[in-house]
C-alpha cells in the first residue's frame, strides 16, 4: 500500500504533466497575427560618388639670379688687362735691377735667421713649459717599480724600548722616478724619521700616463720589526 509521501509525489508529477500539456495545446490553438519579421539590411538609399582628379599646384620656381650677380670663378682667366704693370725690359735678372735690391735691415734679419728683424734685436726665448702637478696613482696608469731599495736603520732608542710597527708615508715621485718629498700619514714617533730617511733614497721606474712620464703621489709603508 503506497505511503502518504508516495501519493504526494505522484500527484505532483501528474499536475506538472497536465500544466505542460495545457501550455503546448494553448500555443497550438492560439489564433492571431504573426509578428512582422525584421527588415533585412539594404542599400536602397545609397548614392554613387563620382571620383574627380584634382590638379596639383605648379612647383615653386626660384627667380633667376640677375646677370650682375653671376658667380665668377677665381680660376677664370681675366678678360681685361690689369692697370699699373710695366712692360718687361729684359734686365729683370740683373743684380742692379731695383727688384733685386733689398733693404739692409731685411737682409741682416734674414742672414741672422730672424726674419725681417733688424740686426741687434734681442729675442726672448720661449717660456719653459708649466710644471705638471703630481697625480695620484690610479687604474690605467703604468705603476712604478722600485729599482733602488734602502733598508731603514732601526733607531737605538726604539730598539731599547722594544717599539715596532708599520709607518705609512705619502711620497711624491717625479717623472724620472726620484722621491721628491715625504710626509707621514700614520706615525710611530720613534720610527718616523728613520722611515722618511730611507724612503727618500728609494728610486722607481718612471710612471707613465698614456705613454708620457708624469709625477705621482703614492702611499708607501715601512715595516719595523725586531729580530
Comparison of pLDDT for 38 and 139, the residue scoring more? 139
Cell of 51: 571620383
Least confidently predicted of 1-10, 33-42, 179-188, 209-218:
33-42
Fold classified for 143-224: TolA/TonB C-terminal domain (3.30.2420)
For residue 82, which phi and psi values (nearest 5 degrees)?
Answer: -70, 155
Q: Could you give the angle at the alpha carbon of 17 between the alpha carbons of 14 and 21, nearest 5°?
A: 140
Q: On the CB side of 214, how many CA atoms lie within 13 Å of its CA?
A: 18
Which are the contacts of 195, defined by CB distance < 8 A and separation ≥ 6? 152, 167, 169, 184, 222, 224
Mean pLDDT value across the chain:
78
Where in the chain does DSSP place strands (E)?
135-136, 146-148, 165-173, 179-186, 203-204, 208-209, 212-213, 216-224
> Cell numbers of 148, please?
733602488
Average pLDDT (165-179) is: 95
What is the maximum alpha-carbon separation in the chain?
166
- Where is average pLDDT lowest: 78-82, 119-123, 158-162, 219-223? 119-123
pTM: 0.44
pLDDT tens digits for range 116-158: 556 666 777 777 665 678 888 887 788 889 999 999 999 999 9
Give tens-digit pLDDT for 85-100.
777 776 666 655 454 5
pLDDT > 70 fraction of the chain, expressed in percent and rounded: 70
Amino acid at each position: 500500500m503506497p505511503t502518504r509521501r508516495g501519493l504526494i509525489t505522484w500527484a505532483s508529477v501528474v499536475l506538472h504533466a497536465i500544466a505542460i500539456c495545457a501550455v503546448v495545446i494553448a500555443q497550438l490553438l492560439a489564433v492571431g497575427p504573426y509578428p512582422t519579421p525584421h527588415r533585412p539590411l539594404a542599400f536602397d538609399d545609397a548614392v554613387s560618388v563620382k571620383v574627380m582628379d584634382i590638379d596639383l599646384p605648379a612647383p615653386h620656381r626660384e627667380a633667376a639670379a640677375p646677370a650682375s650677380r653671376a658667380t665668377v670663378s677665381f680660376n677664370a682667366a681675366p678678360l681685361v688687362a690689369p692697370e699699373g704693370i710695366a712692360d718687361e725690359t729684359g734686365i729683370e735678372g740683373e743684380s742692379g735691377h731695383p727688384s733685386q735690391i733689398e733693404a739692409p735691415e731685411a737682409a741682416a734679419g734674414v742672414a741672422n735667421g730672424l726674419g725681417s728683424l733688424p740686426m741687434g734685436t734681442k729675442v726672448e726665448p720661449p717660456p719653459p713649459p708649466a710644471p705638471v702637478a703630481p697625480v695620484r696613482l690610479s687604474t690605467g696608469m703604468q705603476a712604478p717599480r722600485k729599482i733602488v731599495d734602502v733598508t731603514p736603520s732601526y733607531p737605538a732608542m726604539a730598539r731599547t724600548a722594544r717599539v715596532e710597527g708599520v709607518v705609512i708615508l705619502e711620497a711624491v715621485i717625479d717623472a724620472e722616478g726620484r722621491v721628491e718629498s715625504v710626509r707621514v700619514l700614520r706615525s710611530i714617533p720613534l720610527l718616523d724619521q728613520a722611515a722618511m730617511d730611507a724612503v727618500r733614497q728609494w728610486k722607481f721606474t718612471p710612471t707613465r700616463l698614456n705613454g708620457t712620464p708624469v709625477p705621482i703621489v703614492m702611499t708607501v709603508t715601512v715595516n719595523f720589526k725586531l729580530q
